[in-house]
Amino acid sequence: MSEGDQSLAASAASRLNVSSPALGTIGSVPTGPGLYSLSTSHESAIADLGLEELQPDEPLTARILYLGKAEDSIAKRLAGTHFTTGKTGHSTVRRTFGALLGLSPIPRPSTIVSPTRDQLMTMTSNFALTPNDDRRLSDWMLANLEIRAFEAVVPRLGDLERAVGAALRPPLDQELKPLWTPNPWRSPVASARERIRVALRADLGLGLD
């Protein structure tokens, strides 16, 4: 990274870390592109998620849980998807929290009248939640999660995300190419997501493919 890129990454990490003030409401999220982080200061929320303190020197309430990027609009990504009831099938964030909270999945809604098995596999991989549990998830997220954002118009936002992720080490990272390693929470979180998919597919008689 160039010196300028390193400086930008340091500024982003500082703004997105839990030591920086969180945004007051979902409505105050900036509208431009950039990065965002999610965290919680509530030990009860960590208990709800079933996350263990695997690195006691840095408690989970003292670090970000999730880091994401929005190529077009942070507000659109957060207010329009991640914190919106009915969007779980289109939100990795919602599926991750839903799985950790043990909520009830359903296939992602579709206009396909008679989906094929392959289509059902996709609809269960990107699962949604029952209407009641989808509302419960939104309520839980709004009550427990803190949002921080860093607007950035850069050619390669993903490179900035990776630099910040390596510095802040979000436990819920499930990127195909991990933002940081070794992440002791990566396997437990992945297992929670897989359990909910397997259970849903079993209910639908789809098997384990």
Does residue 208 fall inside a structural domain?
Answer: no
In the block, which residue shows the tokens 């500024």? 11
DSSP letters spanning 97-155: HHHHTTPPEEPPP-S-SS--HHHHHHHHHT-EE-HHHHHHHHHHHHHH-EEEEEE---S
Which one, of 31, 29, 36, lies nearest residue 12 by Cα? 36
pTM: 0.94
Residue type, 23: L
Whether 209 is in a domain gets the answer: no
| Inside any domain, residue 21 | yes
Residue 165: how many CB atoms within 10 A of its CB?
25
- For residue 161, being part of any structural domain is answered with yes
Helix-, strand-, coil-residue percentages of the chain, each rounded to 5: 50, 10, 40
Residue 185, in any domain of the structure: yes
Residue 41 lies in a domain: yes
Q: Is residue 173 part of a domain?
A: yes
What domain range includes position 166? 3-203
In a domain, 156, yes or no: yes
**Residue 145 burial (CB count, 10 A):** 23
**Number of domains forming the structure of the chain:** 1
pLDDT tens digits for the chain (209 residues)?
Answer: 687 789 999 999 999 999 999 998 898 999 999 999 999 999 999 999 999 999 988 999 999 999 999 999 999 999 999 999 999 999 999 999 999 999 999 999 888 888 899 998 999 999 999 999 999 999 999 999 999 999 999 999 999 999 999 999 999 999 999 999 999 999 999 999 999 999 999 999 987 65
How far is C-alpha 11 from the chain's CA centre?
Answer: 22
